[in-house]
Each structure stands twice: as C-alpha cells, then as structure tokens.
Amino acid sequence: CRRVPAEAPATQLWLKKPRLWNGQADPYCYRCTARLLRGDTVCDEVSLPFGFCSVSLDAENGFALNGKRLRLNGVARHHDRQSEGCAPTPAQVEEDFAILQDLGANAVRLSHYQHPQQVYDLCDGAGLVAWAEIPMLAMPAGNDAVVENARTQLTELILQNRHHPSICFWGVQNEIAMMGEHLAMYRHVRELSELAKTLDPTRLTGAANLYSVPNSSQLNFLTDAVGYNIYFGWYYGELSDYAPFFARFHADDPAVPLGVTEYGVDCSPQYHTDTPACKDYTEEFQCLYHETAYAAMQADGRLWGTFVWNLFDFSSAIRDEGGVKARNCKGLVTWDRALKKDAYYYYKACWSHCPFVYLAGRRYRNRCGAATEIKVYSNQPSVALYVNGQLFAEQTGRMVFTFAGVPLTETTCLQARAGECRDTIMLHRVSAQDPAYNCPQRGTGNRVTNWFKRQDAADLFPQGCYSIGDRIGELLADSRTAAILEEALPEVVNNPRARTMGGMTLMRVLDYNADAVTEEQVLAVNARLNAVPKPE
C-alpha cells in the first residue's frame, strides 16, 4: 500500500478512486504488506493481494459485477487427481487452472471444502468469479456438534479468504436435505447465512439444494443465491424436463434468484455408439446431454449462472458405475488430466474467444457401415469438412456442426477447417461393432417412466390414498406405509442411498434403483399403498 505522507490531514485518503477488480475484463489486484519492526529490523512480514469490487443479485437480472450484469458460465472443481490423490503439487494446481481458462469459463464452484490459498490467488489473477463453500453436506436433526463444526469452518473460511476479490459467494450448505427437512435445519441455515453476513457483508451467501427440495421449501428463502443440483435425463426424468423445471420455479418463487449449481453425466472415453442413450456411459451421450441441458439453461434469461459437474473426474469410494470403481466420471477432463473429453470442446465452443475447431468422435475410430455422422465443435461462424482431401460440405452455424452421410472408406481421413483453424482425425471402416466400445455394466436408465403408460393415472394414484407418487420421506414417516415398504422393497428402502432421497417420490427412487425391482413388484406395492388412506 502507498502510505499517506506524514503531513497529510488525517481525513485525506491515499486512494480516492480505486481501480476495480472486474473479472476477466480486468482482474486488477492491489497488494497490502504489513511488517513487524524492531527498530529497523523486520521481524515478520505478511503480504496479501486484495481488490475492490461490488456484487449484487436479483431474480430478474441475475448476477452483477460492479453494477454490470454477468452471466456466470462455470464449472465445479474437485482438487484430487490420479496418483497424487488429495495432495496435488502447486504446478498441478496451476495446470488445472490453465485447463479451466482454456475452456473459457468465467466462474468456478470450489467444491465442497476450503481450497489452498494458491487456488484463490489463481482465481483473483484469472478474473474468475468464485463460489467458496464449507462441507455442510448433511444436517441431521438434533446434532448440534455438526452445526457448530459448520460455524467454525465458515468462520475460518471467511476470515482467511475475505481479502480475495474473486470470491463472490460464500456457500453455506450443499444438499443438506438428504434425510428430509426439519425446522431446526431452517434455523441453522439462517444462522450460517447471518454469520457470513456479519463476517463479510460485502459478499453473497449461497445454498445448493437437491432437486427434491420443493419450490416452497424454506431452504429457498434463507440465502441470497439459490442453486439447484439437477440431473434430468440421468438419475431421473427426461432431458426435456429442464425448461419446465425452471418455469415452475420462477412461477412459484418469482423473487428468488435461481441458478444451477450441478448438472452432468458419467462418461468413460473408451465407450462409443451411433445411438447414444442414458446410462450407456459413452462420449456421445455426454455430448448429447450437455448440448441439450445447457441449451435449456442458456434460453432461460433469469438464471444467474450454471456450474457443470464436474471439470475433472474425481475419486469417490462408494461408486461403482459404468465399469469404473471408486470414481465419479462426470468430468469434462479425465482424472489424470491427460484427456479432454469431447463435451469439453462443446463448452469451449460456447465460452472461449480463442478461435478453434474440433472433430468429435476421434476415439470412436472403428465404425460400421458405408457412411457415418460427424460432429464438429467450433466458435467460428462456419466449418468445412474435408473427406480424404476433398471438400464434403460446408456449414454455417454456432458451436455444433453436424455432418450426416459422411462416406467411410477402409481408412478415412477427415479434416475440419474453420478460418485458419484445422483439426484432423482418422477413422477405420469395420464389418462389426467393436465390443470394446460397449460398457460391460450398462445402467438401465429411466425405466420407470415407461412402466405405467398402459394404465390410467387415476387408478394408479387415487386421491386421498397413498401411492408410489408420494414422497418416500412421507411414506416412511407413516408407520402403515413404512411397514409395506419394509416388507415388499427391503433392498430399496434399506439402501442408505435411497433414504437420502426423502424429498423424492417413491417412483423416482425406484427409477434410480431400477435394477433392483421388477414392474410386477412395483405395481403390487402401489396397489397395497392405494389401500391406505392418508390422514385427514
């Protein structure tokens, strides 16, 4: 800091109009140095960056930085990586942020814990709007020690990091309604939000809710920002459900600023198909999912921002999905950071200003048939596709360019050209589908949505009686219906993961556990529930 001259009046400011930290447009930081002196000897010294900025949020106009609206196009980041686990080196942390900047994102959700100082410094320098949060992932009733721990962590997070101008949100909870909601939960979240405001009144407080949290829930009215973690088309529902979900929320809670704090699907780059479908774990379905889901989010002008889950694959000891154990593979980049999946380049086309062109499907080398479909991602206005050196077709458009009927020869050289940008891949024509492209443990997807099409909904879900259309938390709370579920569906009801979905309907929980039940079982359980009247 520049010192005020000794003769200057006490009221004189050393800096009348500070230069603002303005995100990626101008991530300007100052530095404050404090020294402890004994005579002329420096005994200790601390030097910290800081910056000046203002942030605001409202339901209609979204997020604003220094008074100007900024749509947050973000990703979430877990810090672990292959070989190093939870102890990446400073150079590897820098590599993570180089990838994030190459992607073109302007925001990052630092999930779900405090990150090293280097991370916040990198956010400051890169102009990334940061959501910093504490690991408040469940809030059981009657456990004051959990809440006290959350208060301590939130206090330390803020006091240690409030000088970072990039941090615009203090996240106070993530999916705490796993076991259902209760009155103490609302009180504790309000207290955490107020604590954050007391320690730092200049930032926004935020909460990330499960999809199952009702629009009317008090959890949507306790923080400045509300985000939902939603996975339509993967864990439940259909890809077409995003826009209706947003519309209903805006109609029910018109004054609540809404964002999307998580969305994504698992993908293993070795799996491929011409007919992508839910739970096939292919690169092609991950691309289809993100193209569809993000388009719905972009079309909603009231959303303050979105965060892809996740930038990188990360470890998760309890998972065994898509042929991969102990890992969440929803990342746009692999756990070792060595491979950027095709969906990464979709977002680069949406967000990056650096000209590029990218041919998707490069790992789907062996293809059947006389022709195939080729997808190209680019942020340029037109793309030309060359097949074995000859121009096949040229298209104008935005982000996604799809070329149908591209002829395959025994060995086919494809080149995409967009302005001065070039990208080339090689494909091979084969007589049969390569079995290496099929996931050995393919999920069943959203089977339950098709189970009841042949029956009348009024018969399945009679008014005044229980059914699989009721929330599982409500069914377990009534001893009559809880007994039915314990007897008929013990493998589902006693699954700890199912019990974390208390706000979801039993139908959705069964959908999530579709491998464990049959249609006949579900219909029989529904009939027994229909015989139990709801309390007056």
User: What distance in Å separates the CA atoms of residue 255 and residue 412, rounded to the nearest whole number?
Assistant: 55
- Per the structure block, which two tokens stand in for 150? 């959350």
The distance in angstroms from the start CA to the end CA of the chain is 68
Residue 39: which residues within 8 A CB-CB, separation 6 or more?
A: none
88 vs 315: CA distance, rounded Å: 13
Listed residue (155, 139, 172, 261) closest to 210, CA to CA: 261
SS3 of residue 181 by DSSP: coil
Q: Concatenated DSSP letters for 259-304? A: EEEE------TT---SS--TTS--HHHHHHHHHHHHHHHHH-TT--
**Nearest alpha-carbon partner for 168 in 107, 105, 99:** 107
What phi and psi values does residue 367 have, to the nearest 5 degrees?
-130, 145
SS3 126: helix
How many Cβ atoms from other residues are within 10 Å of residue 375's Cβ? 20
Give residues with Cβ within 8 angstroms of 249, minimum separation 6. 215, 228, 256, 258
The secondary structure of the chain in percent helix, strand, coil, rounded to multiples of 5, reads 30, 30, 40
Structure tokens at 515: 């491998």
Locate 132 and state its tokens.
């910093």
Q: Which two tokens stand for residue 511?
A: 């959908």
Q: Which of 175, 262, 283, 284 is catalytic?
A: 175
DSSP secondary structure code for residue 321 in this structure: E
Phi, psi of 516 (to 5 degrees): -95, -10
Residue pair 223/189 in contact (Cβ under 8 Å)? The answer is: yes
148 is catalytic: no
Are 383 and 393 a contacting pair, CB within 8 Å?
A: no
Q: Residues with catalytic annotation? A: 175
